[in-house]
Amino acid sequence: MEKKWQRWLFYIDIIVIAIFVIANVYMAKDVYMAGYEASHCNGNIGIYEKYFWRFARDVAFLTATVIWIFYRLFRNQYLLLKKP
């Protein structure tokens, strides 16, 4: 039963790392576009606000994935140190 859980957690880890990479790419794009629109907005703050909210979405995904990655890292390190 434990091998089955390890396999599922491995697949979940792969998916989380993929989400992390995709969120990083989108965050870079959204931050660039928000800065570009902020400098060229000419009084229309709506486009800037759209990219800023997209940036906030990307940060939420990055936060969740980083928490998962660090949790798995430190838990596995603890389990390795606990072995005799």
Give the C-alpha separation, 68 to 20, whole Å: 10
To the nearest whole number, what is the mean pLDDT of the chain? 89
Domain ranges of the chain: 2-82
32-64 per-position pLDDT tens digit: 988 887 777 776 777 778 888 999 999 999 999
Report the percent of the chain where pLDDT is more than 70: 98
Query: Does the pTM exceed 0.85?
Result: no
pLDDT of residue 77: 92
Rounded to whole angstroms, the maximal C-alpha distance in the chain is 66
Measure the CA angle with vertex 48, ends 42 and 53; round to 5°.
Answer: 165
pLDDT of residue 21: 96
